Amino acid sequence: MQKYINIIKDREDAARKLLDVIPMHKFKEEQWNIVAVSRGGFSLGTFINKRYKNNLEILFLEPIMAPHNAECEVARVSETEEIVIHEKLVQSFGIQYDYIYGEAHRKHEENILSHVYQFRKGRPFPSMEKEVVLLIDEGSETGSKLITALKTVLAQKPKAVYIAVPVLPSDVLEQLEPFVDDIFFLHDIEDYVETSLYYEKLEQLNDEMIEKLIEENR
């Protein structure tokens, strides 16, 4: 892990390097839809998309934490109410599935819908049926966001799904590979710790910054 610390300068540097591994001729010709699975992913997506102006969306997701441990994620829900559950954690903690589904509904109503209205003016996530989709994030500790986004998009029957992520754990890469057409990445790391360690600078993105990026994308 030590050799990967600060291996990427910032999101713009990550985007520039990803442009060398993504087949940009296909990206342009097939009009790939970029779907960011986080705020950082949306920022990264804007850098990748500057030259091409493909469709760029952010898919809103919310974590579901263990009932007695606010730092332990046991599931995640998307804005289309697709849920991915960490089965081993749920079973080992003896968490009831009613709790998971109840929390998923609450997070969807209280958090996700407010983001949809704030950032998309209430417009729902567009259908990706028969479209080519590129899921994007700045990194991935557990793969939770990418897996939930992948489940959400696959349910819409796309033509193809790709993933672009600068850094990710080796085991997450292995977990994702069977379900996508290809994964474009810079580094897969065996003993992955947290994404911020692999960037020299990883700016926190507040609501105002995201709204500005969305407006620029329009």
pLDDT at res. 218: 73
Reply yes or no on whether the pLDDT at 2 is more than 80: no
pLDDT at res. 217: 81
**For 31-55, what is the mean pLDDT?**
94
Pairing of strands 33-36, 132-136: parallel
How far, in Å, CA of 134 to CA of 158, rounded?
11
Q: Is 2-59+129-217 a CATH 3.30.2020.10 domain?
A: no
What pLDDT band is residue 35 in, cutting at 50, 70 and 90?
A: very high
pLDDT at res. 51: 83
pLDDT at res. 28: 94
* Closest to 53 measured CA to CA, from 22, 72, 32, 36: 32
pLDDT tens digits for range 37-46: 999 999 999 9
Reply yes or no on whether the pLDDT at 215 is more than 90: no
Reply yes or no on whether the pLDDT at 1 is more than 80: no
Reply yes or no on whether the pLDDT at 76 is more than 70: yes
Domain coordinates of the chain in residue numbers?
2-59+129-217, 62-120
